[in-house]
Every structure is written in C-alpha cells, then in structure tokens.
C-alpha cells in the first residue's frame, strides 16, 4: 500500500472514531436527561413518603445482610458495627469468612464475643466446605459462617444457604451503610411484589469523618485519585444507572450493596464462580431466568439507599480494580451472548446489553486507537481544523459537560457534599478527569480485555488502609 493509501486509511478510521464518539455522547446525553427527570421525581416523592411507617407496617419483610469477607481485618469490625446500627425492625447479619489468612476471624470473634452455634440451611447451593458457625453473645442477630476459601461468589452462596429471610442484601466487607439504608432498600419490594432485585448508590468514604461505625461528616478526599473516583461514582450512579432504570434496563447492581429476593436467586442457581463480576452476572441471569420462565419481575435502582466504600488511593490498586471490572464485563457478556439483540429478552437485551457490548466492551479499543489516530494525524500534518475541533469537543469538552451535569444533579437532589468549597472542587475535578486520567482508564480497560482473552481469573490486589473511626481512635 502506498503512503497516500495509508493516509487515506488513517483519515477514514478517524472518521469512524468521530462517529463512535458522537454515538457514545448521544447515549450519555439520553441517559443523563432521563436520569435528571427520574431523580427529580424520585426526590419529590421521597419528601412525601413516610418511610418509617411503611417499614414498620404489618407487611415488613425480614432481611439478611450477607457479608463475604476475605482478609478484611482492616475494615471488618467497623463495617459490622455499622451494620448493627441500622434502623430496621427485623434483620440479621451473616458474615462469611472465606478462608481468610489474616486476622479477620480473630477480630470478629473477639470484638463481638462469638461462640459456636447451630443453624439449619435453607438451600443447598454447592460451596466450599463450611468449617463452623458462630453467633454473637452480644448481638443475637449477628452470625459468622467460617468456610474454606472458594472466592466471593462461593462465599455469597454459603451465606445464601443459611439465609432464612425473604430478602437479602449482599454487602462488601469494606462498606459502611447509613442507618436507614435497609429501610430504603426494601421499599421497592414493598411497593411492587414483582421486584426481584434492587441496587443502591455507592459513595466514596475516603475523606469522611466516621464515628462509631457511621459516616458523621461528608467531605471529598484530599487524595486526587480518590477525589476523581467521587466524581466517577456520581456519574456512574446518578447520571447512568438512574437513566437505565428509567429505561427498565438495569443490568448492574453493585456487589457492594444490592438487595435480592432470596427464593428467585436460589432458584436461578445463586452466584456464579465463573466470573470476577458475579454481581453483574447474577443480575443478567435474573433477567434471563425470569423471562425464560415467564415470571413477572422487576429489577430496579434507587439513589436513596446509600453505602459508603473505601476506594483505592494509588494508581496500581486502582488499575487492578478497573482491569478486573473490564475483564468481568467481558466474561458476563460472553456468557450471556444469546441476549444480544434478542427480542425475547426485551429492553434489557435490546437496550442494556447492546449498549454494554458496543460502548463499554468494545469502547476501549476504539477510544485507544482513536487517541493514537488523532496524534498520528496531527504529527503527519494531515489533520484538518474541523476534524481536530470535532475530536476535541467529542472527546474532551462533552466529557467535562457530563461531569458537570453529574455534580449538578447531586447538588440539586441530595447535597451530600455541602462543606464549603466541596462543590467547586468537584467541578474542578470534572475538568482534570478528562485530561490524562480518562486516557489512563482506557489503558486499564484494554488490559482487562487482554487478560480476558488469556483466560485469567485472578482478582488482583488492592491496598486498603481501613476506616479510621475518630471516636474509637483506631482503625477498624
């Protein structure tokens, strides 16, 4: 091929990238507009809802928190304290120690005075061997299931086997819940008997003041990497998942905090150990299971049940996390590829699955090559001013605009970051995020696709420091 032919190929590919970026931004704009309307209606409705009266009614559903824990000694005690402080009339906490090699089980046994106990299982999902069950002498609703290591999905299934309540919440061990989170999470089940799963919003706990296992004062982190993730979580949950909920196409409920109808999850086979994205895989499988068996159902998302999590503060840990997320996405979409553009599965297939396949799965490849194509065209002097302007607007300016929109929606609806200057700092992060960090995230996602193609299954390591409780004066 001649040099002119290569230049023509480069320019043609750059046009393809521009079309892709335009479609991607149209998708963001659509879900963003839907999210704004959906969130505002939700907030207005919450102002007129007597949640305490609803939860205290005769039809209140008992709930269980299933908390898988593997080497979580830095955060487990503080997290369990927050779980025991919830304002809900009938719930229990099932912590599943998944063969930890650190002091996780010793910290739990000592902090909560736990002793051996017996409990009959409610289902028989296959799991690694359970070594023993313990119950707290101080909190009758706190149980510890000690088992051999089998992975997070295996630990969740072990908890599901011993769960007796109609609804359970899957909670990460590095998560803190607000006191009314369970009451808000159960609301979709009380309002619509078809509900089989619902997700809540995840917020970043880094930088916040924690007292007695609860978030007492909300601040954005000082660490820039963590601060960027505050923005990412706002954009992902408020601007994206609320939009997908409005389209009845929710495919992801975060493994950090989600509520499920136990009987349906058990009938569908529980959590799958064949992916590192067991949370998304379960939700996609619930869509398939209910539609294939003609079961009326609803999978929803609500922005008012809130969980706080510790996010990575160094690039290596963050990169490992994002690589794993992308690899897990690829695993789930490959496993359920029968849903692609399949009318049998309705909107979750035609809208949700198609979006994730085109933009979230393939996106990093086109974006990465698009950045290289842009730089190469500029270096060779063949990039026209209209092309450079269009690329800059689609790749950077609109990204900043969507960041500002997510921050604005948070400010209008919930205002959790009300400390002086936090709002302005988040807006500044919205500018910083699109230059450098977003391109780095594309590289991490490309790594995820590469490790998926090689069949890797590992989770990678994430360094945590643990929640610092200012009242207790220790890391818990």
> Is residue 290 exposed (0-12), middle (13-18) or buried (19+ Cβ within 10 Å)?
buried
Q: How far apart are CA 95 and CA 80, in angstroms?
A: 8
User: Given this model, what pLDDT does residue 143 score?
Assistant: 97
Q: Which of 4-13, 118-127, 221-230, 283-292 comes out lowest in average pLDDT? A: 4-13
Q: Which of 81-95, 131-145, 281-295 comes out lowest in average pLDDT? A: 81-95
Q: How confident is the model at residue 468 (pLDDT cuts 50, 70, 90)?
A: low
Q: How far apart are the first and last CA of the chain?
A: 63
User: Given this model, what pLDDT does residue 416 score?
Assistant: 84
Per residue in 28-42, pLDDT tens? 999 999 999 998 888
* CA-angle at 254, arms to 30 and 359, nearest 5°: 40
Read off the pLDDT of each residue in 60-70 and give the average, rounded to a whole number.
93
The first and second tokens of residue 248, run together, are: 């009845």
User: Given this model, what pLDDT does residue 196 score?
Assistant: 97
* CA-angle at 226, arms to 71 and 396, nearest 5°: 135
Q: How far apart are CA 190 and CA 168, in angstroms?
A: 14
Per residue in 380-430, pLDDT tens? 999 999 999 999 999 999 999 999 999 998 888 888 887 778 888 999 999
Q: How far apart are CA 81 and CA 184, in angstroms?
A: 19
Residue 458 has pLDDT above 80, yes or no: no
Q: How far apart are CA 300 and CA 252, in angstroms?
A: 10
For residue 50, give every residue at least 6 positions away whose Cβ sits within 8 Å of its Cβ, in sequence order, or none: none
Nearest to 150 by CA among 142, 162, 158: 158
Q: How far apart are CA 382 and CA 403, in angstroms?
A: 31
> Residue 260: beta bridge partners?
168, 197
User: What is the greatest pairwise CA distance in the chain?
Assistant: 79
Q: How far apart are CA 73 and CA 78, in angstroms?
A: 10
Per residue in 303-345, pLDDT tens? 888 899 889 999 999 999 999 999 999 999 999 999 999 999 9
Query: How far are the Cα atoms of 306, 391, 458 from residue 452, in angstroms, in the given order?
Result: 32, 30, 10
Q: How far apart are CA 107 and CA 100, in angstroms?
A: 12
Long-range contacts of 395-400 (CB under 8 A, 24+ apart): 395/21, 395/370, 395/371, 395/434, 396/434, 396/435, 398/25, 398/28, 399/433, 399/434, 399/438, 400/430, 400/431, 400/434
Q: Within a 10 A sphere around the Cβ of 165, how many other Cβ atoms?
A: 17
The first and second tokens of residue 103, run together, are: 């002091």
Sign, CA torsion 180/183/188/191:
negative
- Per the confidence metrics, is the pTM higher than 0.85? yes
For residue 387, give every residue at least 6 positions away whose Cβ sits within 8 Å of its Cβ, in sequence order, or none: 14, 18, 377
Q: Given the structure tokens 């706002």, which residue do they identify?
A: 234
C-alpha neighbours within 13 Å on the C-beta side of residue 65: 33
Backbone dihedral region for residue 213 (phi beyond 0: left; psi -120 to 50: alpha; all else: beta):
left
């Amino acid at each position: 091929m001649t040099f002119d032919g290569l230049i023509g190929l480069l320019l043609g590919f750059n046009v393809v990238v521009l079309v892709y970026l335009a479609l991607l931004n149209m998708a963001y704009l659509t879900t963003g507009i839907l999210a704004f309307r959906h969130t505002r209606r939700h907030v207005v409705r919450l102002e007129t809802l007597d949640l305490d009266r609803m939860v205290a009614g005769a039809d209140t559903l008992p709930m269980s928190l299933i908390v898988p824990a593997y080497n979580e000694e830095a955060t487990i005690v503080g997290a369990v304290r927050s779980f025991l402080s919830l304002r809900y009339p009938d719930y229990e906490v099932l912590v599943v120690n998944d063969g930890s090699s650190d002091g996780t089980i010793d910290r739990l046994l000592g902090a909560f005075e736990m002793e051996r106990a017996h409990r009959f299982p409610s289902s028989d999902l296959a799991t690694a061997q359970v070594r023993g069950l313990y119950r707290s002498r101080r909190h009758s609703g706190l149980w510890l299931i000690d088992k051999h290591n089998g992975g997070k999905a295996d630990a969740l299934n072990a908890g599901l086997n011993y769960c007796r309540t109609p609804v359970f919440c899957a909670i990460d061990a590095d998560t803190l819940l607000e006191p009314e989170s369970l009451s808000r999470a159960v609301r979709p089940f009380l309002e619509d008997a078809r509900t089989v799963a619902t997700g809540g919003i995840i917020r970043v706990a880094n930088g916040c003041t924690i007292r007695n296992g609860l978030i007492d004062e909300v601040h954005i982190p000082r660490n820039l990497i963590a601060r960027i993730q505050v923005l990412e979580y706002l954009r992902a949950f408020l601007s994206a998942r609320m939009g997908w909920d409005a389209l009845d196409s929710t495919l992801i409920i975060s493994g950090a905090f989600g509520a499920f109808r136990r009987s349906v999850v058990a009938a569908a086979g529980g959590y799958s150990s064949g992916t590192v994205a067991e949370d998304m895989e379960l939700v996609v499988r619930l869509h398939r299971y209910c539609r294939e068996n003609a079961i009326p159902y609803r999978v929803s998302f609500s922005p008012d049940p809130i969980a706080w999590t510790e996010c990575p503060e160094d690039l290596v840990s963050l990169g490992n996390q994002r690589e794993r997320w992308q690899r897990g996405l690829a695993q789930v979409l490959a496993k359920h590829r029968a849903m692609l553009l399949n009318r049998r599965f309705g909107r979750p297939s035609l809208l949700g699955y198609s979006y994730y396949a085109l933009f979230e799965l393939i996106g990093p490849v086109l974006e990465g090559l698009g950045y290289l194509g842009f730089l190469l065209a500029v270096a060779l002097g063949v990039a026209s001013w209209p092309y450079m302007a269009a690329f800059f607007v689609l790749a950077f300016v609109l990204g900043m605009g969507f960041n500002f929109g997510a921050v604005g929606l948070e400010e209008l609806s919930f205002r959790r970051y009300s400390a002086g200057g936090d709002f302005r700092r988040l807006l500044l992060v919205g500018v910083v995020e699109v230059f450098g960090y977003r391109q780095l995230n594309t590289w991490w996602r490309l790594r995820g696709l590469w490790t998926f193609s090689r069949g890797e299954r590992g989770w990678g390591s994430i360094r945590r420091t643990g929640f610092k409780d200012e009242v207790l004066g220790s890391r818990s």
